[in-house]
Amino acid sequence: MTDFQKITAIAFDLDGTLIDSVPDLAAATNATLAELGLPLATELQVRSWVGNGAKVLMTRALTYALGQTVSEQQLLQTMPIFMHHYGLNLEKHSNLYPKVLTTLKALKNAGYHLAIVTNKPYEFTIPLLKAFELTELFDYVLGGDSLAKMKPDPMPLMHLIRQWDIQPEQLLMVGDSKNDILAAKSANVAVIGLTYGYNYGEPISASNPNLVCDDFGQIGQCLLSK
């Protein structure tokens, strides 16, 4: 088993890790496609398109609906429509995964520094955290547009390491996507991969995280019993 003895701070991914947000992302995607008079997508399709932020989600949705490559112009016209629809209903059909709140509170009470590192745009991340009463738990919240680069680039994790003035071996990343695993590995940070989230339909074990968990509660068991 991986040794998490040195860990003092944890960076959590958001979509597919803390919150099952695909139902609202799918609703906003389809509201956008409907407004453009294009064919709608299934929730399963949208699930496989989430992971690289809102712009890439829309690129994938438009590519599917139009059946061809999307121009920058089409994407530019579509983004405000999607941002509008998603902003109206961020948490209507979304849910926290089991044991997320109790585990995060226990980790915070045990003295771990906690942060959010998501590819979701910052303007949606803050109200979503608020809707699920998670805001107070995190010292830092980095959205996909908070820095010049998003996951799988290591930039957000390196930013946290600098902000907290810690060593890479003190930080742990927890996520559901290969983007989380790649970012952690590039930053020399240990990483736990969750099996229940969104990873383009691929098993997270294929990305070789330090530990694979099926249940969020297992993270608490690992870190609180050390």
Ligand X SMILES: O=C(O)COP(=O)(O)O
Query: In the complex, what is the shortest distance from the CB of residue 41 to Mg ion, in angstroms, rounded to a whole number?
Result: 19
Contact 76, 55 (CB under 8 A): no
Asked if 146 touches ligand X (CB under 6 A), the answer is no
Which of Mg ion, ligand X, none interacts with 53 (beta carbon under 5 to 8 A by kind)?
A: ligand X
Interaction residues for ligand X, span 9-38 (CB under 6 A) = 13-16
Cβ neighbour number for residue 157 with a 10 Å cutoff: 25
Residue that has been written with the tokens 């983004």 in this structure: 79
Which of Mg ion, ligand X, none interacts with 50 (beta carbon under 5 to 8 A by kind)?
A: ligand X
Sheet with 9-12, strands from edge to edge, namely: 140-142, 113-117, 9-12, 171-175, 190-194, 211-213
Contact 132, 91 (CB under 8 A): yes
Cα torsion angle, 63, 67, 68, 73, sign? negative
Asked if 24 touches Mg ion (CB under 5 A), the answer is no
From residue 166 to residue 205, the character string flagging contacts with ligand X as x (rule: CB under 6 A) and all else as - is: -----------x----------------------------
Asked if 51 touches ligand X (CB under 6 A), the answer is yes
Helix (H, G, I), strand (E, B) or coil at 93: coil
Could you list the residues known to form a binding site for Mg(2+), using ranges. 13, 15, 176
Asked if 30 touches Mg ion (CB under 5 A), the answer is no
Q: What is the rounded distance in angstroms from the CA atom of residue 125 to the CA atom of residue 131?
A: 10
Residue that has been written with the tokens 């930039």 in this structure: 155
Interaction residues for Mg ion, span 153-212 (CB under 5 A) = 176-177
Which of ligand X, Mg ion, none interacts with 94 (beta carbon under 5 to 8 A by kind)?
A: none
Query: In the complex, what is the shortest distance from the CB of residue 3 to ligand X, in angstroms, rounded to a whole number?
Result: 26
Which residues does residue 19 pair with via DSSP β-bridges, in sequence order?
Answer: 15, 96
- Contact pick of 118, 146, 199, 210 for ligand X (by CB under 6 A): 118
* Contacts with ligand X, residue ranges (CB under 6 A): 13-16, 50-53, 57, 118-120, 177
